[in-house]
Structure 1
Amino acid sequence: MDRSSWETYRTTQFRCFAKMDGAAFALLIVTVLIKGFLTVSSHKICYIVSEFDPQSPSKQQQRWSLPYSDPCECTSIRLGGAFSQDMSRCLKVKPFYLETLILSEDREEIREFFKCPPVCSDALGMGSWKIPDSSLSASTAGNTGYGPKKARLNTNGAYCSSDPANNWYRVSLDETVTLTGLITQGRHYSNVWTKTFKVKLGVAGNQLEYVTGADGLPIEFLGNTDHGTQVTNSFPEAVRANVIQIEPVEVERAFCIRFELLGCRDSD
């Protein structure tokens, strides 16, 4: 960009800033600095604003504007400030203009409102053996006949730890995938299952991070209440990872689990 073009751009941006109220200016700064989202843990908080519609006859009619390139990534929509002109001129994005105000902390409600495509939720291969035994490991070798390879969904038995404390079960994939959740079961025809658990995700060679909630704390997912019912838990947002670690919080008798990973592979 040459000096003349830069001066024109800078003047235009300054005029945009000058016409905003304090709340809107603060919103713009947040939006520009973090590319349109305020991220809290794994949640993306988006702000909807009011602005004058330049297409209205009086140019004084208000409209709702969501200044984000993809509202389907929002996990929360909150009320922002007010703009006195078309904010797309300031933010250089194409906003979503809405006739109906939506304020929500429910990601599924947001996705339904914007008719978002389904999040990928394919079975990644625990049940089908597409994930090989060599990708499976655990904090202990497991009780006899209940080793790591027995953790596959719908298999006879289950993985069962031989240690009552400090347990984890890990899947190390040979490629980075998109993970969206998992399905769990207890031990086949036995009164043993995992009631609640936490999940860590990451890329091999890097530190694993817990899947967290809006409060920034690790989510304790609700697991099973019997040996055979499949229970599905979804993550707050899709995560790119190739290492998945399940850590039990509360168990019925022992840490026993069968499960399937949900998401999608780039290679599929």
Structure 2
Amino acid sequence: MVQAAPGDDLTALRNKAFASFRTQCCGKQVTGGATAWCNAGARDTNPWIQVDFSCSVVITGVITQGRGNRNRNQWVTEFKVAFSDDGQEWTDVTNNGSSTPMKFPGNSDQNTHVTTTFPKAFQARFLRILPTQWSSHCCMRFEVLGCTINE
């Protein structure tokens, strides 16, 4: 598994103040019960969250979960993934050289771990998860699978 990134290495573009708070508390119970990254709400039709690993790593997949709050039915049911070396130009994860971005199945509840293995491992500094469908509200927890590169 790729080394966990501190909260400062997570970015969510939509609704900067809300996204910043959510990314810093991922997986930790804080006041108000937040346990996941959540998008800014109904007006945020193209949410995403990304990780900056600070150096190039090999990425093989992700493990996702919904929002870990039993009173909220909030999770991502489908998502796409993109990666980048510079944070400016992005490449979608595709299947067998297709130009169409793959849509991966997500979660069906708050706490079940869903492991998604990409068709081919790739090397990148940045990983972006782009939810395309969700239950109730776009919220998720995730881990990145892969390894560092020994130089």
Asked if these proteins are the same fold (TM beyond 0.5), I'd say yes
Q: What SS is found at the alignment partner of 1:227? A: coil
1:144/1:167 CA distance change after superposition, 3 Å: closer
Q: In the alignment, is the contact (CA less than 8 A) between 1:142 and 1:159 conserved in 2? A: no
Query: Which residue of structure 2 lines up, in the alignment, with residue 5 of structure 1?
Result: none
In structure 2, the gaps of 5 or more residues are 30-34
Query: Which residue of structure 1 lines up, in the alignment, with residue 26 of structure 2?
Result: 151
Query: Which residue of structure 1 lines up, in the alignment, with residue 129 of structure 2?
Result: 246
Q: Does 1:236 align with 2:119?
A: yes
Q: Does 1:262 align with 2:145?
A: yes
1:221/1:186 CA distance change after superposition, 3 Å: same
Q: Work out the CA distance in 2 between the residues paired with 1:199 and 1:168.
A: 9
- TM-score, length-normalised on structure 1? 0.49
Q: In the alignment, is the contact (CA less than 8 A) between 2:26 and 2:141 conserved in 1? A: yes
Query: Which residue of structure 2 lines up, in the alignment, with residue 198 of structure 1?
Result: 80
- TM-score, length-normalised on structure 2? 0.83
Q: What SS is found at the alignment partner of 1:172? A: strand
In structure 1, the gaps of 5 or more residues are 1-122
Q: Work out the CA distance in 2 between the residues paired with 1:198 and 1:144.
A: 19
Q: Does 1:170 align with 2:50?
A: yes
Residue 161 of structure 1: CA displacement?
1.1
Relative to total residues, which structure has the larger strand share, 1 or 2? 2
Relative to total residues, which structure has the larger helix share, 1 or 2? 1
Using the aligned pairs only, state the percent identity: 32
Q: In the alignment, is the contact (CA less than 8 A) between 2:84 and 2:90 conserved in 1? A: yes
1:222/1:205 CA distance change after superposition, 3 Å: closer
Query: Which residue of structure 1 lines up, in the alignment, with residue 38 of structure 2?
Result: 160
Q: Work out the CA distance in 1 between the residues paired with 2:11 and 2:47.
A: 11
Which amino acid counterpart does residue 212 of structure 1 have in structure 2?
T
Q: Work out the CA distance in 2 between the residues paired with 1:184 and 1:257.
A: 7
**Which runs of structure 1 show a deviation greater than 4 angstroms over 4 or more consecutive aligned residues?**
142-146
Which amino acid counterpart does residue 149 of structure 2 have in structure 1?
D
Residue 125 of structure 1: CA displacement?
3.0
Aligned residues: 140
